[in-house]
Amino acid sequence: MLMIQFPDITFEAGKYVDEFVSFLANNLEVLFDFIFFITSRSISGLTDFLMIIPWWLFIVIIFLLGWYFKSLFSGVLYGLFIFLIGSFGLWEEMMITISIILTAVIICLIIGIPLGIAMAFNKWVSMILRPILDAMQTMPSFVYLIPAIFFFGLGNVSAIFATLIYSLPPVIRLTDLAIRGVDKEVVESAHSFGSSRWQTLSKVQLPQALPTIMAGVNQTTMMALAMVVIASMVGASGLGEQVLVSINRIDIALGFEAGISIVFLAIIIDRITNGIAEKVQRRGGNQ
Q: How far is residue 94's CA from residue 82's CA, in Å, rounded to a whole number?
A: 9
Q: State which CATH number among 1.10.3720.10, 1.10.1370.30, 3.30.450.20, 2.60.120.260 fits the domain covering 24-286.
A: 1.10.3720.10
Is this model's pTM higher than 0.85 or not? no
Per-residue pLDDT at 45 exceeds 60: yes
pLDDT digits 0-9 by tens, 56-111: 999 999 999 999 988 889 899 999 999 999 998 889 989 988 888 888 888 888 99
The beta-carbon contacts of 74-82 under 8 Å, at least 24 apart in sequence, are 74/271, 78/267, 78/268, 78/271, 78/272, 81/264, 81/265, 81/267, 81/268, 82/58, 82/264, 82/268
Higher pLDDT, 282 or 225: 225
11: pLDDT confidence band, cut at 50, 70 and 90? low
CA distances from 82 to 76, 98, 151, 172 (A): 10, 12, 35, 31
- pLDDT in the model for residue 281: 67
Q: How far is residue 265's CA from residue 88's CA, in Å, rounded to a whole number?
A: 14
Task: Give the CA diameter of the chain.
Answer: 74
pLDDT digits 0-9 by tens, 189-220: 777 777 777 777 777 787 788 888 888 888 88
Contact 59, 83 (CB under 8 A): yes
Contact 171, 108 (CB under 8 A): yes
Per-residue pLDDT at 13 exceeds 60: no
Burial of 34 from C-beta contacts in 10 A (0-12 / 13-18 / 19+): exposed
121: pLDDT confidence band, cut at 50, 70 and 90? confident
Contacts of 271 (CB under 8 A, 6+ apart): 66, 69, 70, 74, 78
